[in-house]
């Protein structure tokens, strides 16, 4: 029996046993033809109920109720209400997450707020040197603003660099380029033991694997919602502030929406109570309520089950790649160990950019990260094993064609 026949048969068996397979019908996907969408770690697929919900928001809530919708349709309370929908997906109790603004803006709020929480005598920020670029840019600006020294380090170097001058540590839970999962519990514990404040970027982990914010004592966290949470392009990000820190969280962006009396129009600022302190200005209602509708796909879904399928999908993809692609043609830079792997596989190839272009033209959609990384995201809510097998087979064909 050929490798293709054996692995195609295995894929069918895995799909037949997949308890999450039925969730695919909750999304708008191309089920005709041979397309495979492996870019959910950049932009999640459209949940099927979102268009109808958005039409209601536009036609009825905005078109008919107009200004009344701030109260009658719950617009004003949406940032906290939707934050409470996200909370169980990242292991947080209610009342600690507020939705709004972009990830970059929330990184700024969290990092400057972390330095202020750390207090006097702490004048150093540690930042993940492998971080997504915007986190590094924001960290550099936050350091200048707060008078701190910025030290870029790999996550593995952080424990040895912590000291009594460390104010805040900004880390990514999953490396966006390689898919490496960093040890959030151990790193958070190390930061806490040093008396510093932890800030985690969850963009590539929320909705793909258990995070455990409360359980592991994370101080502050941020994340986007358009990847594994499927909120749509540019959907609002979120900010987590642990409940016992909220009364001391001093946002560097004290907008009117976070005021204790937002409609009092007072000239002096007084922060509101709870997660509302993370708000700034008027929320983006259309995209926020699209996100709220998108989160319905998580009803009745266990994050642990999602994680189990994620690991099974990535294991199977790597097995298929090993079987179909000639040795040495690509190199996986994603860790093989489950404890160190997010929900993506990154393969290094000298001609990765050209290969990804060819893959997309034949319907296998991943993405390219300079200089030489083919990146494939695995979203367990709507991806099946037969698709994974096909993607690996097409990848092998395109690598062969590129080398010919």
How many angstroms separate the first and last alpha carbons of the chain?
27
Cα–Cα distance measured from residue 149 to residue 219, given in angstroms and rounded to the nearest whole number: 21
Cα–Cα distance measured from residue 306 to residue 317, given in angstroms and rounded to the nearest whole number: 16
Partners of 98 in the beta sheet? 239
What backbone phi and psi angles, to 5 degrees, belong to 128? -60, 115
Would you call 338 helix, strand, or coil by DSSP? helix
Distance of CA 116 to the CA centre of its chain: 26
Would you call 80 helix, strand, or coil by DSSP? helix
What DSSP line would sit under 72-111, residue for residue?
A: HT--TTHHHHHHHHHGGGTT--TTSEEE-S-HHHHHHHHH
What backbone phi and psi angles, to 5 degrees, belong to 97? -125, 135
| Active-site residue, 219 included | no
Angle between helices 352-361 and 385-403 (to 10 degrees): 120
Helix (H) or strand (E) holding 312: helix 303-324
User: Which entry of 27, 108, 132, 368 is annotated as an active-site residue?
Assistant: 132
| Active-site residue, 22 included | no
User: Which entry of 27, 37, 176, 226 is annotated as an active-site residue?
Assistant: 226
| Active-site residue, 137 included | no
| Active-site residue, 227 included | yes
Number of Cβ within a 10 Å radius of residue 403? 11
Cα–Cα distance measured from residue 187 to residue 183, given in angstroms and rounded to the nearest whole number: 6
- φ/ψ region of 20 (left if φ > 0, alpha if ψ in -120 to 50, else beta) reads alpha
Would you call 49 helix, strand, or coil by DSSP? coil
Taken in order 31, 34, 38, 43, is the CA torsion positive or negative? negative
| Active-site residue, 375 included | yes
Angle between helices 78-86 and 285-294 (to 10 degrees): 30
The answer to whether the CB of 27 falls within 8 A of the CB of 48 is yes
User: Which entry of 18, 39, 201, 219 is annotated as an active-site residue?
Assistant: 201
Helix (H) or strand (E) holding 126: strand 124-128
User: Which entry of 227, 242, 329, 390 is annotated as an active-site residue?
Assistant: 227
Which residues are part of the catalytic machinery?
A: 132, 201, 226-227, 375
């Amino acid at each position: 029996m050929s490798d293709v026949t054996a692995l195609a048969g295995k894929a069918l068996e895995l799909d037949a046993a997949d308890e999450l397979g039925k969730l695919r019908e909750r999304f708008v996907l191309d089920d005709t033809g041979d397309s495979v969408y492996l870019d959910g770690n950049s932009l999640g697929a459209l949940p099927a109920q979102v268009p109808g919900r958005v039409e209601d928001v536009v036609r009825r809530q905005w078109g008919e109720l107009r200004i009344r919708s701030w109260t009658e349709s719950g617009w004003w309370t949406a940032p906290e209400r939707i934050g409470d929908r996200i909370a169980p997906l990242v292991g947080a109790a209610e009342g600690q997450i507020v939705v709004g603004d972009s990830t970059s803006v929330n990184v700024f709020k969290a990092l400057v707020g972390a330095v202020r929480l750390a207090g006097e005598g702490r004048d150093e920020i540690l930042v993940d040197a492998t971080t997504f670029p915007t986190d590094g840019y924001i960290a550099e600006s936050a350091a200048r603003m707060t008078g701190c020294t910025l030290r870029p380090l790999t996550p593995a170097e952080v424990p040895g660099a912590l000291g009594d001058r460390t104010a805040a540590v900004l880390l990514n839970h999953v490396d966006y380029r390689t898919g490496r999962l960093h040890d959030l519990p151990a790193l958070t514990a190390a930061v806490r033991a040093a008396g510093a404040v932890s800030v985690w970027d969850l963009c590539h982990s929320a909705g793909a694997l258990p995070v455990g914010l409360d359980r592991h004592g994370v101080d502050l966290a941020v994340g986007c919602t358009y990847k594994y949470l499927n909120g749509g392009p540019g959907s609002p990000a979120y900010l987590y502030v642990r409940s016992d820190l909220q009364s001391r969280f001093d946002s560097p962006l004290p907008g009117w929406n976070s005021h204790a009396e937002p409609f009092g129009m007072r000239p002096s600022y007084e922060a509101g109570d709870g997660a509302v302190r993370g708000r700034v200005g008027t929320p983006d209602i259309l995209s926020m309520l699209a996100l709220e509708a998108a989160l319905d796909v998580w009803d009745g879904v266990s994050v642990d089950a999602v994680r189990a399928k994620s690991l099974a999908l990535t294991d199977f993809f790597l097995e298929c790649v090993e079987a179909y692609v000639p040795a040495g043609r690509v190199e996986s830079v994603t860790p093989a160990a489950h404890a160190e792997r997010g929900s993506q596989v990154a393969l290094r190839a000298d001609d990765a950019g050209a290969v990804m272009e060819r893959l997309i033209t034949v319907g296998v959609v991943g993405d390219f990260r300079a200089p030489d990384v083919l990146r494939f995201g695995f979203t367990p809510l709507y991806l099946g094993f037969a698709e994974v097998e096909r993607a690996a087979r097409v990848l092998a064909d395109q690598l062969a064609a590129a080398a010919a």
